[in-house]
Amino acid sequence: MKTYVYVARDSAGNTIKNTVESDSQHSVIESLGQEGYYVLRIYEKKAFNWSPWDIVDRFTKVGLKLLTIFSRQMALLINAGLTLSEALDTAEEQTAQRKFQQIIHKVRVDVQSGITLAQSMRKHPSAFSDFFVSMVHAGEIGGVLDKILDRIAIFYENELALRRKVQSAMVYPILVTVVSIGISLFMLVYIVPQFAEFYKDFSGGEAQLPELTQTMMDISEEFRYNWYWYTVVPLAALVIIYKFRGTKWGHRVFDPIIIRMPLFGPLAKKVAITRFSRTLGTLQESGVPLIEALEVTRDTAHNLVVANAIDYTRERIREGETISAPMRRTRVFPPMVTNLISVGEDAGNLEEMLYKLSDYYDIEIDATISALASLIEPILIVVIGGVIGVIVVSLYLPIFNLVNIIN
């Protein structure tokens, strides 16, 4: 039994607030209705719990891979003839993650109480996005929920593949940069002080070291005695920037910069366009109205510049314009995108053109990543080699000078 808090109005118009124990919200509403009460608001009262699992669940995310497996399972089970409640029960048993299992259980209870699947999923935004809910809603209305769930699975599979491509483009430069910083710090902390001690003992502290060598010795000593300023402060700054990047103001500051960056800007723009095309195409094919589909699509772009362009397009469509004309005026979308969308509008196969655009930009992303890798690799090698080379040369300069004096 669960405890529910409700606010209701009686036949005389008086508002009351009380608690009641029951199996579900639906049974509480039905029972109060029979007693002549109209329920204004109801929610489950949860006891504060210090369970370690609850703390873990707070930091656990329901990833795309889990949603892909769930969508595929539900599509197969519903297509096989199982009722929605039975399919959810089976999916709950098959799910390994505790948090997602609990969410599916709550969805199943809501569905059994008479709530639609889309309405129940909307209560759990941490697991089911607006895209997921809108697709399911369209599937329930059209009576093709199994096909819609299968399309969701395909969509998430493509999104996972896109994320892997972008991550692969970032892994190599980040790894090489971290390793090079580690080697440089090791030399500054351990190697340079040994050379400094050697030169001090050799000359009795009276020899004048070359300027480059002395500078390197000073940098090493400064870092060893004030290492926390040069490690903790930069790391804290990176964390703050990362957190700020996820805020509304952070998107306003960083998104226009990212999309205009010389190397990574074109990649970021292509990723945003392929997400826009695939999401809008999937929603349109599933029967979601264009205005609603664009509203859902803006959140999948992950870039405020593209999202603002989608908002502008949506408002112009409300006023009676086509989709391609306002998109062209934003100057965010390349001519190829707006032209193909215009052709799709005229021919009545907009979703097909959007799918072709997403496939084309998938290929473009692969080519851009390959070009970035071939460009970044030599730049990193030169920079890293230069830094380590300067340290090594500065350490051996006094020895070279000593050889010249002896000669």
Asked if 219 contacts 212 with a C-beta cutoff of 8 angstroms, the reply is no
Q: What is the pLDDT of residue 245?
A: 84
DSSP class of residue 128 equals: S
**Per-residue pLDDT at 376:** 81
Token match 């009545």: residue? Answer: 348
Spatial CA neighbour of 72 closest among 91, 89, 86: 91
- pLDDT for 12 equals 67
Contact residues for 371 (Cβ-Cβ < 8 A; gap 6+): none
pLDDT tens-digit map of 87-139 = 999 988 888 888 888 889 888 888 888 888 988 888 888 888 888 888 888 88
pLDDT given for residue 3 in this prediction = 78
The Cα–Cα gap between 320 and 306 comes to 21
Question: Which residue(s) pair with 17 in the sheet?
Answer: 7
- Look-up of token digits 């991550």: 167
Query: Running DSSP on this structure, what letter comes out for residue 247?
Result: S
C-alpha atoms less than 13 angstroms from C-alpha of 234 in its C-beta half-sphere: 5
Residue 77: how many CB atoms within 10 A of its CB?
A: 21
At 178 the pLDDT is: 86
CA distance 147 to 154: 11
152: helix, strand or coil: helix
Structure tokens at 264: 């990574």
CATH top class, domain 2-47: alpha beta
CA distance 40 to 239: 43
Distances, alpha carbon 216 to alpha carbons 185, 210, 222, 380, 387, in Å: 12, 10, 10, 22, 12
Strand 15-22 relative to strand 38-44, pairing: unpaired
Residue ranges, the chain, pLDDT below 50 = 405
Identify the bridge partners of residue 19 per DSSP, sorted by sequence position. 5
pTM of the entire structure?
Answer: 0.69
Do 54-157 and 265-366 fold alike per CATH? yes
- The residues with which 20 forms a beta bridge, in sequence order, are 4
CATH topology classification for 265-366: Receptor-associated Protein (1.20.81)
Q: Name the region of 43 (left: φ>0; alpha: ψ -120 to 50; beta: rest).
A: beta
Token pair, residue 316, equals: 């112009």
Please report the pLDDT score of residue 51 as a whole number. 52
* Residue-wise DSSP of 290-302: HHHHHHHHHTTS-
Q: Which of 18, 24, 26 is nearest to 1 (CA)?
A: 24
* CA separation for the pair 135, 87 (Å, rounded): 18
Q: Where are the domains of the chain?
A: 2-47, 54-157, 265-366
Separation of alpha carbons 196 and 395, rounded Å: 9
Amino acid making up residue 11: S
Output b/e per residue, 45-69; b: 16+ Cβ within 10 A: eeeeeeeeeeeebeeeebeeebbbb
Q: What is the pLDDT of residue 13?
A: 64
Longest dimension (CA), the chain: 111
CATH topology of domain 54-157: Receptor-associated Protein (1.20.81)
